[in-house]
Structure 1
């Protein structure tokens, strides 16, 4: 009976290890990821124009960095309703970087600008206008809180 019990214990341990190790590896892999939420507040009446300019001029650069593997994910949202002016934001973009160093690399997307926007003069003008209609912008480093 003890041989059967010992064999059963080994089987259970192997099953638990086969389930736990991939989860542990995934947890270690995501532990180095670095998430930042970018909040944008446009001047009243310009939110949709700002969002369209962001999608046209900035999002393609981030997608290139994602294709390279420097960015893990990019998500965006906008409020369905409005809040008070002191807490209002028009667009939130959450970017998960492969690591913190990439999140703070000022040249992360520089290499893609000429490739994606050969007419650099029009690109600069569009970006200047995007920032002219931007009232405020803030970035918040976030960490995922494991609830289990």
Structure 2
């Protein structure tokens, strides 16, 4: 746990420095930060995983959008098959207002009790959602201007 917090803090510092450099090079640019979350689920359980994600995680992200910390959340599923080594079943793209929000471990915590008064049920559902996972990875993305 301590190592994870340390990693998050380091990433936050790196991205804050990167954003500052980007803003200096292009003062009109937004400081938005985009992260794609990929989920590879056990065969036959993608629908159940997505249902649990929609019920237990998406409402928290919507609250953060209402507050303005998250700009946009989009989800996608692949339409064609892929090899087992490259397949993913669910992608969530989150555009954060800034790196500060993106790496804030407490971003959605204030909304949990409000949205999920039965914390034991939430914990059990979230445990099951993660039991369905084979792997999960996050990709930090940046747009490039092809006209430059």
TM-score (norm 2): 0.79
Structure 1 residues not aligned, in runs of 5+: 1-26
Per the TM alignment, residue 145 of structure 1 is displaced from its structure 2 partner at its CA by: 1.4
**Pairs within 5 Å for 1:58-77:** 58-77=57-76
CA distance in 1, matches of 2:102, 2:142: 14
Structure 1 stretches (4+) deviating beyond 2 angstroms? Answer: 27-31
Quickly say closer, same or farther: Cα 1:103–1:116, change in 2 above 3 A.
Answer: same
Deviations 1:112-132 (A, max 9, x none): 011001111111110000000
CA distance in 2, matches of 1:30, 1:134: 36
Across the aligned residues of Structure 1 and Structure 2, the Cα RMSD in angstroms comes to 1.2
Q: Of Structure 1 and Structure 2, which has the larger fraction of its residues in helix?
A: 1
TM-score (norm 1): 0.79
CA distance in 1, matches of 2:137, 2:96: 17
Report the structure number with the largest CA radius of gyration.
1
Deviations 1:46-89 (A, max 9, x none): 11100110011000000000000000000000001110000010
Number of aligned residue pairs: give it: 122
Structure 2 residues not aligned, in runs of 5+: 1-25
Match of 1:129 in 2: 128
